[in-house]
A and B are shown apart, each in its own frame.
Chain A
Amino acid sequence: EPEVTQTPSHQVTQMGQEVILRCVPISNHLYFYWYRQILGQKVEFLVSFYNNEISEKSEIFDDQFSVERPDGSNFTLKIRSTKLEDSAMYFCASSEGLAGDDTQYFGPGTRLTVL
């Protein structure tokens, strides 16, 4: 069964450093997403990506963040100048269609720890 994959599973970085989180969505999916979950809290939407551009972003997704689909399979989230409060689990997800109509399948997550 196709699945979303994410690398690395755990990333530790120093405050102020840049990190890139990588995802390979399910191959026939058209919509890609990043969510985050701060420990013990609920899952929050960051950004959605469709047709090679951002289609929606949350207030959290400020200039510190960027997304890219560098080739036909990878989808990346870059966090510049990380802060302590960026420590969280970051989930990539993908779907065939719109949020109300099609299931978003999540990857296993990347746990980011900023020291």
Chain B
Amino acid sequence: AQKITQTQPGMFVQEKEAVTLDCTYDTSDQSYGLFWYKQPSSGEMIFLIYQGSYDEQNATEGRYSLNFQKARKSANLVISASQLGDSAMYFCAGGESYNTDKLIFGTGTRLQVFP
């Protein structure tokens, strides 16, 4: 069974600085995907970025990049040039290709960006 661990309950970053949100995972499946979602105070879950287990390059989507270290089983989200609108909860989630349909979510990290 998969497990997702986010050890940072809260993070602060100054506007325009970069911040890294940590995520480690544990899975027995050889084929899996790791996802990051943003949940602003309004409550919706917004997909940010995806990394497949067989992808050799780290995923990037605009200001978001994923620092994927397979041997360490980590998939950290890097947000560059933080903006005030980045203040939100961030969830790391994992999905397996064969064993299960579901996404397993971590407990989330609350990011606050200050001016």
Most A Cβ at <10 Å: residue of B35, B43, B52, B106: B43
Taking the closest CB of chain A, its distance from the CB of B44, in whole angstroms, is 4
Tell whether B80 is near chain A: CB-to-CB under 8 Å.
Answer: no
Tell me which residues across on chain B come within 8 A of A31, comparing CB atoms: 101
Binds A, one of B12-20, B70-78, B92-100: B92-100
Cα A104 to Cα B47 in complex, Å, equals: 8
Give A60-115 interface residues, CB cut-off 8 Å to B.
89, 91, 93, 98-109, 111
Complex: chain A residue closest to B107, CB-CB: A42
A27 within 8 A of B: no
Chain A residues in 8 Å Cβ range of B32: 100
Chain B residues contacting A108 (CB-CB under 8 Å) are 43-44
User: Complex formed: what's the CA distance from A35 to B43 in Å?
Assistant: 13
Instruction: Check if A17 is an interface residue, CB within 8 A of chain B.
Output: no
> What is the 8 Å Cβ interface bit string for chain B, positions 72-115, against chain A (1 contact, 0 not)?
00000000000000000001010111101111111110000000
Interface size class of B (residues with CB under 8 A): 20 to 34
Structural contact, B101 and A99, CB atoms closer than 8 A: yes
Is B60 part of the contact surface with A, judged by Cβ < 8 Å? no
Please, how many angstroms separate the alpha-carbon atoms of A20 and B108 in the complex?
A: 28
In the complex the two chains form, is A109's CB within 8 Å of B45's CB?
yes
B100 & A106 in contact (Cβ 8 Å cutoff): no
Contacts of A91 in B (CB 8 A): 45
Contact in complex: B101, A55 (CB < 8 Å)? yes
Specify which chain A residues have a CB less than 8 angstroms from the CB of B69 in the assembled complex: none
Question: Which residues from chain B contact A98 at a C-beta distance below 8 Å?
Answer: 95, 97-98, 101
Q: Could you show 15 A-B contacts with beta carbons less than 8 Å apart?
A: A33-B102, A33-B103, A42-B108, A56-B100, A99-B101, A99-B103, A100-B32, A100-B96, A100-B97, A101-B33, A103-B47, A105-B47, A106-B47, A108-B44, A109-B45
New contact pairs (11) apart from A48-B101, A101-B52, A104-B103, CB-CB < 8 Å: A33-B103, A35-B103, A42-B106, A43-B105, A93-B45, A99-B97, A99-B100, A100-B29, A100-B95, A103-B35, A105-B47
